[in-house]
Structure 1
């Protein structure tokens, strides 16, 4: 469950604990969501061990079963894990960091956890921070969620590195985080295909009254299958010979699910995989410098040689 939904689910449980029975529309008004979303929060809470009774009719509504929220059964080790996530969100300047800190503070009350104690190790992350207008991104983020829930199209001005800024009509299907940035996956009416849209590149947007139907053939697993990153240009067999010490670094990660690694006596490895994302794979190989050799495909080998020549001429 994404951070915003988790916070709202916990707020719903706290509202029921403090006020007793509440109607679905009352909860929806308090949380600024649809009544349909309230049912999803109920199901999510029950999966976490917080049971909620619901009855229809004039005297019906939602009621929290039990006297408190300790059914969450969260221990201090789990709080420490959340503390690490919090530090990463703060360092990354993530647009949801304040909401996550608010959630964590509430959870720590439940287990009487003090984050200032000295019984856990400090944690920090080293990577570039997001340089975004947090409030603007939150507005876009929430509108995308609303558009998805209500199945409404979004009209937006989007800046693409390939074609510059253009107006697009899209159908939201979901969001994901990649290298600290939030992307929306949507069907683009202009391209007549699915695409990833970095939400910080949306300059203007409007949720339209016009609705769209979900394409039942869309599959998240197929959409991202064998992808090196966000790029999906082409799919091909890659064979690399990687020298030590990069061989150790490459072995420590699963780059694509189908990868195969053969270890050599000189500590080098042969890396084999079916991969998508030609431009990102090129960048990945170049980042290893002289410690990697492209065996296959021949086109990739030639393109790497050409890129090295360009770099050589530049310097």
Structure 2
């Protein structure tokens, strides 16, 4: 058992309120009490661990928050996610549960976009084993292996692609992988539920993208995370929607001017294409598009199609 494995097990043995003797930890990990003390010193950089003297004394963890992202490197986080999904530790129930807890905690702490959930719906996996696909991506990301996928686009067209996967993340309740698509020679987001077939190759690749910065830039500039047409928006928004809009930061460059009767004037440069159309339509009659003219035309065409569909 490695030092990292022992330290991880020690974290969960020292759950808040439980006192554990140093000898008990040494016996369980088959190490010396001095080594247990070393582990404690390492953990004390991130946690508050109380040393209780006397025959009934020992170590007790006082913290309830586990800062795993500060404790572990990015590679170690990926390693944990991979091992938590691996059958390698299936016989070690305690370690498997510890890894599951850490994996869940890390996923909870992941990028804030994971909190944007579509209400009133559940994901339809179409009989696909999304967990298995996710686990295979963990392996590919960890070892930097290229992957071959069969992918269905928004338009329903299926293509076979070779990709270099960088990161798995959640967006509006669904799992995506950010990867370089060699077919399109560009960085793309792939929704796991749309992957019908996946092969992890033995071809290695070098990652030269700052993934976290790329995701943050996508969020700063766009409605959602997907790039699209750029619009210089000028909107007049009426209550009650004006209250909702002014309470949130949609893009970093937005400017909101409060008007009379609870109305607001919203200005921003945004990218997003269909997501911007959807966002404006969601405001219904509470919004008036001032600029750009091209967006007015797109909205009018979309509304006309909707009206025609109602007539059928």
* TM-score, length-scaled by structure 2: 0.65
- Residue of structure 2 in register with 1:174 after alignment: 167
The structure 1 residue matched to 2:191, chosen from 198, 202, 206, is 198
Give the match's secondary structure for 1:225: helix
Of the structure 1 ranges 189-198 and 227-236, higher mean CA displacement relative to structure 2 is found in 227-236
Which whole-Å deviations, capped at 9, do the CAs of 1:261-302 have from their partners, x for residues lacking one? 111112111111111111110011111111111111110011
- 2:289 corresponds to 1:294: yes
Contact 2:9 2:98 (C-alpha < 8 Å) held by counterparts? no
Q: Equivalents in 1 of 2:148, 2:44: separation in Å? A: 36
The structure 2 residue matched to 1:129, chosen from 122, 125, 137, is 122
- 2:246 corresponds to 1:251: yes
The Cα shift of 1:127 comes to 3.5
Which whole-Å deviations, capped at 9, do the CAs of 1:16-36 have from their partners, x for residues lacking one? 9442449xxxxxxxxxxxxxx
Contact 2:128 2:193 (C-alpha < 8 Å) held by counterparts? no
> Aligned pair count?
235
Of the structure 1 ranges 129-138 and 219-228, higher mean CA displacement relative to structure 2 is found in 129-138
Q: Equivalents in 2 of 1:67, 1:264: separation in Å? A: 63
Q: Which runs of 5+ in 1 are unaligned?
A: 1-6, 23-41, 52-65, 76-95, 108-124
The Cα shift of 1:126 comes to 4.9
Contact 2:234 2:268 (C-alpha < 8 Å) held by counterparts? yes
- Residue of structure 2 in register with 1:267 after alignment: 262
Contact 2:8 2:98 (C-alpha < 8 Å) held by counterparts? no
* TM-score, length-scaled by structure 1: 0.64
Contact 2:47 2:61 (C-alpha < 8 Å) held by counterparts? no
In structure 2, relative to structure 1, the CA distance for the partners of 1:277 and 1:103 (3 Å cut) is same
Contact 2:180 2:186 (C-alpha < 8 Å) held by counterparts? yes
In structure 2, relative to structure 1, the CA distance for the partners of 1:70 and 1:226 (3 Å cut) is same
In structure 2, relative to structure 1, the CA distance for the partners of 1:242 and 1:103 (3 Å cut) is same
How do 1:5-84 and structure 2 match up within 5 A? 10-11=8-9, 13-14=11-12, 17=25, 18-21=28-31, 48-49=46-47, 68=59, 70-71=61-62, 73-74=63-64
Q: Equivalents in 2 of 1:101, 1:243: separation in Å? A: 49
Q: CA RMSD in A?
A: 3.8
In structure 2, relative to structure 1, the CA distance for the partners of 1:142 and 1:11 (3 Å cut) is farther
